[in-house]
Amino acid sequence: MLHIDTIAEVRAACERARRAGRTVGVVPTMGFLHEGHRSLIRQARARTDFVVVTIFVNPLQFGAGEDLDRYPRDLAGDLSQCADEGVDCVFAPSQAEMYPRPPLTTVHVAQLTDGLCGAARPTHFDGVTTVVTKLFAIVGPSVAFFGRKDAQQLAVVTRMVHDLDLPVEVVGCPLVREADGLALSSRNAYLDPEERAAAPVLFRALRAASDAVVAGERDAARVRAIVATEVAEQPRVTLEYVEVRDAHELTQLTQLDGEVLLAVAARFGHTRLIDNVGITVDGNTVRVDLGTGQVLA
Ligand code: AMP
Q: Which residue has the higher pLDDT, 292 or 232?
A: 232
Task: Please tell me the total number of residues recorded for the chain in this structure.
Answer: 297
For ligand 1, the distance from its centroid to the CA atom of residue 261, given in whole angstroms, is 17
pLDDT of residue 129 exceeding 70, the answer is yes
Q: Which residues' Cβ are closer than 6 Å to ligand 1?
A: 29-30, 36-37, 39-40, 146-147, 149-150, 173, 175-176, 183-186
Calpha distance 27→169 (Å, rounded): 12
155-179 pLDDT, tens digit per residue, is 999 999 999 999 999 999 999 999 9
User: 3-state SS of the chain: helix, strand, coil percent to 5?
Assistant: 40, 25, 35
67-120 pLDDT, tens digit per residue, is 999 999 999 999 999 999 999 999 999 999 999 999 999 999 999 999 999 999
Q: What is the mean pLDDT of residues 260-276?
A: 97
In terms of Cα–Cα distance, which of 24, 84, 17 is closest to 54?
A: 24
CA atoms within 13 A on the CB side of 159: 19
Q: List C-alpha distances in Å: 179 to 49, 184, 197, 280.
A: 32, 10, 12, 24
pTM of the model: 0.97
Q: Is 269 left (phi over 0), alpha (psi -120 to 50) or beta?
A: left
For residue 297, the model assigns a pLDDT of 43
Q: Whose CA is nearest to atom 6 of ligand 1?
A: 29
